[in-house]
Amino acid sequence: MDTLVIVVIITALAFDFTNGFHDTANAMATSIATKALRPRVAVAISAVLNLVGAFLSVQVAKTISSGLVDDAQITPAVIFGGLVGAILWNLVTWLVGLPSSSSHALFGGLIGATWIAAGGDAVNFATVVTKVIIPAIASPIIAGAVAATGMFLLYTITRRAARRRTREGFRHGQVVSASLVSLAHGANDAQKTMGVITLVLITAGVLGVDSGPPLWVIFTSGLAIALGTYFGGWRIIRTVGHRLTKIEPQQGFAAETSAATVILASSHLGYPLSTTQVTSGAVIGSGVGKKLSEVKWGVAGRIAIAWGLTLPAAAAIGALAGRVAISGTAGVLIVAGVLVALATTFYLLSRRNKVDRHNVNDEPVSPPKPKPKPSVTSRYAR
Amino acid sequence: MNVPWGDLGTVLMAALFLGGGVIVLYAVGVRVLSPADADGESTGRPSPLRIAITSLCFAICGAAVGYGIYTLL
């Protein structure tokens, strides 16, 4: 294998790692917020289920771009540029604690890199609209509607039940539904990395045309996403678990069950939706179903802006990285060096305001209000 | 441009009936298992009939989870 192939495989596994820690919140943020599970236990369960999920199916791995770009135009350098765009956008959104779609970041990166390498004709814009943009708008609405309806019915049914036992019951249910989301996430998202690595191996002549992913590719992809999940994107977990709405076990159960159903139903019908958008929509829906005013719409608006920016931002970074990478091995190594430097910078910036398993459930601290100076009249009144 | 509105509608209806159904069944199970007085405090151990109804509800929810895992294969 030549240097470029090895660099692309390592970069694909790095993307898989960021995909894991970026998306831990999808399954486990609500369970951590309601203290149904201790943070470390939650991410460990999610990591194991992501690894198991990676072995369940390889159907998605056979097409990495889902028809968004002309697969014949994809070269290892283009894939590398796309991966760099996706990784950097994942890191930026992680740093500011916003749950954005890793799949859309990968698609955006690939679109940008393909466009710069092969021209606009190589990008299927109609498919981008039907497979990315419309689902991005529809998926949180569908998940939110299901969660809001479920939450309303749930509260109506359990209004007169024993409070403590009810909370315990929904905590257990929440763990099961969150675990199902983790399994579905591993089954869907790990396959994208398998697809990337398999395609690179085919273009390098290591595998035959129409080959599926070899076992070592399945295992390393599953392991990378599981490790990323175990490290936990604590910043995004805090946003989804605490900053969108105040989550109780009943809400967590309704949100995760709705998310799991929407993800599984759409995957079964061959219409994959973003796990991140589905889960965020479900959490918001569970807040709406309980009490409309409990949703922090300012935070929800920031998340929606991040979703809107994901595709073009990752495409811009992917195009830039792809432009340098297609110039040859030296270009690839330069882009790899810049990627490592920027990733290190983001990590160091995150250390200034560290969020981890110890403080992920801390309430946001609001600045203290200044004490009003006693007025002349109040002084005389004393 | 061929927007698959039909698929999205199917996802919505399937999720509403299946997801909503599991939520309602589980809520019924929890409700039956948690008899309370007017203050929302537990009124003691649930009767065998209540335990049986709850078990049935939870078993159906468990079967739904199993079917969900099956669809991933």
Instruction: Give the closest residue to A279 by CA, choosing from A20, A19, A24.
Output: A24
A372 pLDDT more than 70 = no
Confidence band of A16 (pLDDT split at 50, 70, 90): very high
CB contact under 8 A, B11 and A180: no
Q: How many CB pairs under 8 A join A and B?
A: 141
**Which of B24, B25, B28, B34 would best serve as a mutation to test chain A binding (most A beta carbons within 10 A)?**
B34
How far is the C-alpha of A221 from the C-alpha of A12, rounded, in Å?
Answer: 9
Confidence band of A293 (pLDDT split at 50, 70, 90): low
How far is the C-alpha of A210 from the C-alpha of A180, rounded, in Å?
Answer: 31
Single-letter code of the amino acid located at A371: K
What ipTM describes this predicted complex?
0.91
How many separate domains does chain B show? 1
B68 in any annotated domain: yes
Contacts 24+ apart (CB under 8 A), A34-37: A34/A171, A34/A174, A34/A247, A34/A248, A34/A249, A34/A251, A34/A252, A35/A361, A36/A171, A36/A172, A36/A174, A36/A175, A36/A249, A36/A252, A37/A175
B64 in any annotated domain: yes
Residue B73 forms contact with A (CB below 8 Å) = yes
The tokens for A13 are 């596994």
Condensed to tens digits (0 to 9), the pLDDT of residues B19-73 reads: 899 999 999 999 999 887 777 777 778 889 999 999 999 999 999 999 988 888 7
pLDDT of B44 reads 78
Domain range for B69: 49-73
pLDDT of A60 reads 59
CB contact under 8 A, A183 and B8: no
How far is the C-alpha of A165 from the C-alpha of A291, rounded, in Å?
Answer: 22
How many Cα atoms sit within 13 Å of B37 on the Cβ side? 6
**Average confidence (pLDDT) over A68-77:** 81
Closest chain A residue to the Cα of B64, Cα to Cα: A261
Nearest CB partner across the interface for B42, out of A130, A146, A162: A162
Residue B36 forms contact with A (CB below 8 Å) = yes
Judge whether A257 and A166 are in contact, CB under 8 Å: no
CB contact under 8 A, B34 and A180: no
**Which of A137, A153, A264 would best serve as a mutation to test chain B binding (most B beta carbons within 10 A)?**
A264
Nearest CB partner across the interface for B26, out of A56, A173, A268: A173
A7 pLDDT more than 80 = yes
How far is the C-alpha of A99 from the C-alpha of A375, rounded, in Å?
Answer: 47
B55 in any annotated domain: yes
Single-letter code of the amino acid located at A190: A
Residue B55 forms contact with A (CB below 8 Å) = no
B34 in any annotated domain: no
CB contact under 8 A, A165 and B34: yes
How far is the C-alpha of A328 from the C-alpha of A308, rounded, in Å?
Answer: 33
Residue B35 forms contact with A (CB below 8 Å) = yes
Instruction: List the end-to-end C-alpha distance of chain B, in Å, as a whole number.
Output: 31
Nearest CB partner across the interface for B42, out of A160, A165, A261: A165
A366 pLDDT more than 60 = no
A382 pLDDT more than 50 = no
Task: Give contacts of B72 with chain A, Cβ < 8 Å.
Answer: 53, 56-57, 183-184, 187, 264, 267
B59 in any annotated domain: yes
**Which of B31, B39, B51 would best serve as a mutation to test chain A binding (most A beta carbons within 10 A)?**
B31
Task: Give contacts of A265 with chain B, Cβ < 8 Å.
Answer: 10-11, 14-15, 18
CA B60 to chain centre: 8
Closest chain A residue to the Cα of B12, Cα to Cα: A142
The distance of B56 to chain A (nearest Cα, Å) reads 15
Cβ neighbors of A304 (< 8 A, separation 6 or more) are none
Task: Give contacts of B19 with chain A, Cβ < 8 Å.
Answer: 146, 150, 257-258, 260-262
B53 in any annotated domain: yes
Judge whether A212 and A79 are in contact, CB under 8 Å: no
A335 pLDDT more than 90 = yes
pLDDT of A154 reads 92
B58 in any annotated domain: yes
Cβ neighbors of A235 (< 8 A, separation 6 or more) are A94, A95, A96, A97, A350, A355
CB contact under 8 A, A129 and B1: yes
Cβ neighbors of A342 (< 8 A, separation 6 or more) are A88, A91
B60 in any annotated domain: yes
Confidence band of A42 (pLDDT split at 50, 70, 90): very high
Nearest CB partner across the interface for B30, out of A126, A166, A183: A166
